Each structure stands twice: as structure tokens, then as C-alpha cells.
Structure 1
């Protein structure tokens, strides 16, 4: 097996070690391997390919980190055909939340989420997707 060196903040490393211990992993490498498999598999759902999707992406960051907010604005404009709506909200005393409503293909949404995840200093990035035709079918059955 190939050995890989990864840089991360000490606080994240501690969380990783605690998680490994609490959940019975043999060590941090096992946790990182599983996380990598899960991340890479997120957008490989064949049921979602070639379908129009709705997506919701939530990003949390410290409000003092203006570079994150600037990056979110840049991504919103770069992907304006994908972003249907965007809301910026203040959460607590120190945080901002960016909420993106997306409508596009799996590849487009995957690229967008990947760029957000690659943004330095984001605290959390959560998302969900649903095929638009499933949503439309649900609506028409309740009419």
C-alpha cells in the first residue's frame, strides 16, 4: 500500500484520532481511506446520471474569514446558470451560512460542490440532491 502525507490542522487530526478510537478503527489511515471512498462515491450514483437535479448546498464559515465569502460570491457568478438562488445568513455571533439552491446535472452539481469543498477555511459543507422529475411526480400526485 502506498503511503501518503497529508497536511491538516492539529484540531482536525485530533478529531480524526478520537473518531478512530471511538468507532473501533485500527487507526487514522483506516478512517481516511473510508472517508476517501465515500467522498469519491458520492457522485457516482448511476440513478442520478442524465437527469435534471435540484440541489441544496449549505456552507458554514467564520464571518472573519472574508476570503470564503468572496470565494462564494465568485462561485455564484461563475455558475450563474446552475445557481437558482443564494442566501447569505448570519448564524450566532461568529458564523455565516451560505445556502445555494441549484438546478442542473450531476456533473455540474458535483463540480460546484467540489469547488466549495476546496475552499480554504470553510467549516462545513453539506448538500443534498433530488431528481426534478421525482419532485414533479410527487407534486402531481398530491394535486
Structure 2
């Protein structure tokens, strides 16, 4: 076992201690180990291999960080092919929550999320990524045209459809 040292500002340390007490941890080390394991598991899920994905990237950012809102907007414009929609919620005078719906090549979606996470002033970024399969194979009672668009079916449905 290795010992590491981390520094937390006072409000974050107090919040960590309250969380650990509420959830029954006997020590900070036990709680932080579990939190690290959980984050690593979530990251491993995000990094599972899919050719195409749809995703929701949600993050809180401090709008008072110099030019951050402009940099985030520029990043979205530079990756307009991945962006399906965005929603912005102003939380208070300093912080906003933005949710970005993405679709496209999985690695491109992940790379975009990583760039957003790495921006100074972006807090608590979370990516919910779903692998999908593009195609037009489906059964309907009627004919219709997709005019160049393809269905994006979640990969997990491929496994469950055979049992329906």
C-alpha cells in the first residue's frame, strides 16, 4: 500500500468529512479509496469500445473565470459536427450548469469531453456515454424515408431484442 498526500480547501475538506460520516466510513482513507475506485470504474465504462456513441456531457463552470464561457462556446463551434444540442442553466451569480448532447465517433466524443474537463474553472464534469449502432434495419407497418439519416440504436438493445 502506498501513502499519498492531497490538499483540499477547507470547504471541500468539510464536505468530504460530512459525506464520509453520513455514509459510515471510519476514516478518510477508506472513503477516498472508494471514491477513487468509483471514479476509475466510471471512467473505464466511458472508455469502453464503441464505434459511435451518443452522450450527455454535463458540467458546472465558474463564469467569472476570465474568458471561460467564450472558450467553451468556441470549443462547441469547433466541434459543431458532434453537438446535437446544449442547455445552459444559470445557478447563481458565479456558476452555471451546461449540458451538451453529443453524437458521433466515440473517440471524438471522449476527446471533446476531456478538453472541456481540462479547462480551468470547469467543475464536476460528467459524461454519460451510450454506444450506438447506426443502421436502417427495422420493421414497420409502413414505408418511410430517412432522407439520409440513419437510426442510432443503443448497442445493449441488440442483445435484448433477441429475447423479446
If the length of structure 1 is used for normalisation, what is the TM-score? 0.71
Distance 1:28 1:109 in 2: 34
Structure 1's unaligned 5+ residue stretches are: none
1:121 matched to 2:121: yes
SS for the counterpart of 1:45 is helix
> How far is the alpha carbon of 1:16 from its aligned partner?
0.8
Mean alpha-carbon deviation: is it higher for 50-59 or for 106-115?
Answer: 106-115
Q: CA distance change for structure 1 residues 126 and 47 in 2, over 3 Å: closer, same or farther? A: closer
Q: What secondary structure sits across from 1:132 in the alignment?
A: strand
Paired residues, number: 139
> Which SS does the other structure have where 2:44 is aligned?
coil
How much does 1:15 deviate? 0.8
Bigger-Rg structure (1/2): 2
CA distance in 2, matches of 1:58, 1:80: 17
Q: Partners in 2 of 1:10 and 1:41 — Cα distance?
A: 27
Per the TM alignment, residue 55 of structure 1 is displaced from its structure 2 partner at its CA by 0.5
Deviation of 1:114 after TM superposition, in Å, equals 3.2
RMSD of Structure 2 on Structure 1 (CA): 3.2
**Is 2:116 the counterpart of 1:99?**
no
Which has the bigger relative contact order, CA under 8 A and spacing at least 6? 1
Q: What is residue 54 of structure 2 aligned with on the other side?
A: 54
SS at match of 2:129: strand
Among residues 148, 153, 157, which one is paired with 1:136 in the alignment? 153
8 Å CA contact retained: 1:60, 1:123? yes
The Cα shift of 1:44 comes to 2.3
Structure 2: runs of 5 or more not aligned:
134-150
The residue number in structure 2 matching 1:22 is: 22
Deviation, 1:62, is 3.5
Change (3 A) 1:46 1:122: closer
Q: Which has the higher helix share?
A: 1
Contact 1:43 1:110 (C-alpha < 8 Å) held by counterparts: no
Q: Distance in 2 between matches of 1:70 and 1:47?
A: 28
Moved over 6 A (4+): none
